[in-house]
């Protein structure tokens, strides 16, 4: 018998500065907030949302993407753990539009690369976490 997951439920990234990371992810992706601690939360709500650790969780399709502000160092994909996070887009045209968005916002990237099964656009967040956009081959 094996465990047979059908998808990721969520991914949560640890970040050093929640305000800076929120600004980056919200500006680029505009994802709706699924969970965050309201500023006027009572003790019961604080207890129920303690799993946020002062961070935020966004809705990303059927999954969730969270930011947790507890990191004390910088990301390095050559260490044990996360290598990168890849976000799916529908087409090469969406990658071209995303490249223009990154350029407009001054976010360095590696350009669009054809990897045979599709194309990718690689860039990094403010904590140097490796991110990519992937469009399948048409």
Q: Which domains does the chain have, with CATH numbers?
A: 1-73 (3.10.180.10), 82-138 (3.10.180.10)
DSSP string, 40-68: T--HHHHHHTGGGTT-EEEEETTEEEEEE
Res 71: pLDDT: 66
Q: For the whole model, what pTM was predicted? A: 0.88
CB-based burial label for 137 (10 Å; 0-12, 13-18, 19+): exposed
Res 101: pLDDT: 96
Res 76: pLDDT: 75
Q: What tens-digit pLDDT sequence spans the chain (138 residues)? A: 898 888 889 999 999 999 999 999 999 999 999 999 998 999 999 999 999 988 999 999 999 999 998 867 777 777 768 889 999 999 999 999 999 999 999 999 999 999 999 999 999 999 999 999 999 997
Res 132: pLDDT: 97
Is residue 134 within 8 A of residue 86, CB to CB? The reply is: yes
Six-digit token string for 20: 């800076």
Among 20, 18, 19, smallest CA distance to 68 is for: 18
Res 75: pLDDT: 74
Among 73, 69, 65, smallest CA distance to 55 is for: 69
Tally Cβ neighbours within 10 Å of residue 56.
22
CA distances to 22, 23, 28, 59, 70 from 32, in Å: 12, 13, 12, 6, 22
Res 70: pLDDT: 81
């Amino acid at each position: 018998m094996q465990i047979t997951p059908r998808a990721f439920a969520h991914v949560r990234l640890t970040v050093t500065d929640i305000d800076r990371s929120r600004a980056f992810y919200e500006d680029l992706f505009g994802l709706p907030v699924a969970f965050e601690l309201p500023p006027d939360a009572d003790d019961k709500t604080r207890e129920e949302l303690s799993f946020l650790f002062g961070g935020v969780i966004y809705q990303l399709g059927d999954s969730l993407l969270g930011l947790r502000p507890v990191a004390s160092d910088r990301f390095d994909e050559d260490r044990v753990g996360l290598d990168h996070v890849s976000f799916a887009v529908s087409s090469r045209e969406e990658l071209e539009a995303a490249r223009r968005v990154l350029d407009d916002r001054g976010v360095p990237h590696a350009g669009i690369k054809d990897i045979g099964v599709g194309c990718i656009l690689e860039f990094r967040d403010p904590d140097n976490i490796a991110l990519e956009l992937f469009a399948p081959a048409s």
